[in-house]
Amino acid sequence: MKLFRDSGIVAAPVFSNDEGWLGFVNVFDIMSYIAFFTHFHNEATEGIPESFAHLETQVNKVLSISTETASQLWVGYSFEETLGSIASRMSSGIHRMLLSVDDEARLLTQTDIVKFIYEHDKSGLKDKPLKELGLADTKKICSVNVNSSALVGFRTIYKQHVSAIAILDDKGKIVGTLSSSDVRVLVTEEDLMGLSLTVKEFLEKNKIFRSPIAVTANSTLGDTMKAVLDGKVHRAWIDDGEGAVYSVVTLSDIIRLWYN
């Protein structure tokens, strides 16, 4: 957790001297373990567990909790792989790939691909509004009320199989985003106790509360990509212009559109 927090990363490859590369451990895995620690260890409590020994849990045990890491996030390819081949896989939801040749390995992410598209694509897609591209259709929005606890928020992320959810006020307007990456601040027992705070209190206390990246159906794909890249996020919420969210555009959506 300290590595993730201090380095500003959300995933790291896991290596075993006996078995070689095992895969990736990411913030979603760790969030899942923290949010459902009592479930994984058969402790009958819905609150914050009294014991925080799981902070010392070995990474290889966390790898098996989330099906996301095992099936989607660990993919190894060579540097000779074509961009089209990589985009094909990332458009299906793979978030990152380890590219290797000989003894050298580098990480390629969805953000890298979207940045490349934004800087080099000449097809004209960037000038078209989201609604024309079919990216503004109504979707199920996973959300949490601003007064719900942070623990409930992280559990919602896990149950809905998403990497982030919208934070809504009592009027249903978006006020922020809770991401699985926000668990990076949980490095001590005192930090973990903060999970009982409301979502907004938790984010503000840890100085990670940020305004949501939101666009409208009339926003161009280029403006949307710029907002996502500048905000260093993986999605842009689509609202009605008054804060009511009805859809979302993810990096996977952008890559899928460009590839197809």
User: What's the one-letter identity of residue 258?
Assistant: W
DSSP character at residue 69: I
Please tell me the distance from the alpha carbon of residue 112 to that of residue 110, in angstroms, as a whole number: 5
Dump pLDDT digits (tens) for 12-29.
767 667 766 666 676 777
Dump pLDDT digits (tens) for 73-95.
445 566 677 888 888 888 877 78
Q: How far apart are the first and last CA of the chain?
A: 37
pLDDT at 59: 57
Please tell me the distance from the alpha carbon of residue 248 to that of residue 154, in angstroms, as a whole number: 19
Please tell me the distance from the alpha carbon of residue 191 to that of residue 207, in angstroms, as a whole number: 13
pLDDT at 247: 96
Whether the domain at 2-120 and the domain at 126-259 fall into the same CATH topology = yes
Residue with tokens 């009605």: 240
pLDDT at 75: 52
Q: Show contacts of 98-101: CB within 8 Å, 24+ apart.
A: 98/13, 98/21, 98/24, 98/74, 100/76
Choose which CATH entry (3.10.580.10, 3.30.450.20, 3.90.550.10, 3.40.50.20) describes domain 126-259: 3.10.580.10
Compute CA 57 distance to the chain's CA centroid, rounded to the nearest angstrom.
22
Domain 2-120: CATH class, spelled out = alpha beta
Where do the structural domains in the chain lie, given as residue ranges? Answer: 2-120, 126-259
pLDDT at 41: 44
Q: Please report, for residues 72, 84, 112, 114, 228, the alpha-carbon distance to residue 256 in angstroms, rounded to integers and kept in the order given.
A: 16, 11, 14, 10, 16
Q: Where are the beta strands (DSSP E) in 27-154?
A: 76-78, 96-101, 104-109, 143-145
**pLDDT tens by residue, the chain, 260 residues:** 677 766 666 667 676 677 666 666 767 777 677 666 544 444 444 444 444 455 555 555 555 545 444 434 445 566 677 888 888 888 877 787 777 766 677 778 899 999 999 999 999 999 999 999 999 999 999 999 999 999 999 999 988 989 899 999 999 999 999 998 898 888 777 888 888 999 999 999 999 999 999 999 999 999 999 999 999 999 999 999 999 999 999 999 999 999 98
Question: In terms of DSSP bridges, do strands 174-179 and 96-101 run parallel, antiparallel, or are they unpaired?
Answer: unpaired
pLDDT at 216: 97
pLDDT at 83: 85
